[in-house]
Amino acid sequence: MEQLKTEQINGFIKDGFIKIENAFPTEIADQCRAILWKATQCDPNNPDSWTQPVIRIGELGHEPFKKAANTTILQNAFDQLVGKDNWIPRLTLGSFPVRFPSKEPANDTGWHVDASFAGDDATNYFEWRINIHSKARGLLMLFLFSDVTEQDAPTIIKLGSHFEVAKILEHEGENGLSFMELAQRLNTISTKEEIVATGNAGTVYLCHPFIVHAAQNHYGTTPKFMAQPPLLTKKDFNISKIEAELCPVEKAIWLGLRT
């Protein structure tokens, strides 16, 4: 069974993500993309029907999405990064921000960290929260269902930013910060090297839950199809364990508080 190499895991701890090419077959990506085209109600052969810069599709549980999320290489990676069997299999994937070439700018391109548990108003995502233990969330995952070049609105990732986010959350207790509260404090993070999440259809980026990232406007010609689901955990992380017992997600948080 294919496993992540030690250098890949060390890169995840240091940079905050791993890029896995061929994480699921291209034919499955094709099937998923066909389903998503129907959900957008746009015509793939008529760019005049692409009237919005981004269309968001909610959770979808069609069989191709289940297959994409549960390949052996991904399941092994989940065990290695968040702890063996400490994750809940994905039966759906979502949300799907489908990005189109457009003269109109998208309105969702700010730097942020994805929230992981509900606040007082569970219906308002901006009130969802993040705490130092990354309650409920093991990973941020980016599933590419179309080929994504630098022109096709790839997600921007700030390398090593998860360390700085750990410092911000350290003294915020179990309740942590809301999505918006944390977003407003990200300007305190020192400038980090940025990479863009490009790749062929079938590529998956497995990201630390504290990674700072942002969407972009689309400057290419082919719409971008991606899912960005969380990997949910069975048990919350515990950074109070001895170092040798920390999984890579915990180890990164632990290191962030000590650097």
The Cα 146–Cα 26 span in angstroms is: 9
| Residue 82 phi, psi (nearest 5) | -115, 0
* Token pair 């457009």: residue: 102
How do residues 117-153 score in pLDDT, each as one tens digit? 998 888 888 899 999 999 999 999 999 999 999 999 9
Contact present, 118 and 129 (Cβ < 8 Å): yes
Q: What is the pTM of this model?
A: 0.96
Domains of the chain: 6-256 (2.60.120.620)
pLDDT at residue 180, rounded to an integer: 95
Q: Which comes out higher in pLDDT, residue 63 or 124?
A: 63
| Residue 53 phi, psi (nearest 5) | -70, -30
How do residues 84-104 score in pLDDT, each as one tens digit? 999 999 999 978 999 999 989
How do residues 207-227 score in pLDDT, each as one tens digit? 999 999 999 999 999 999 999
DSSP string, 99-168: E---SSPPS--S-B----B--S-TT-GGG-EE-TT-TTEEEEEEEESS-B-TTS-PPEEETTHHHHHHHH
Contact present, 204 and 247 (Cβ < 8 Å): no
The Cα 31–Cα 204 span in angstroms is: 16
pLDDT at residue 189, rounded to an integer: 83
Terminal Cα-to-Cα distance of the chain (whole angstroms): 35
How do residues 36-58 score in pLDDT, each as one tens digit? 999 999 999 999 999 999 999 99
pLDDT at residue 1, rounded to an integer: 53
How do residues 175-203 score in pLDDT, each as one tens digit? 999 999 999 999 888 777 999 999 999 99
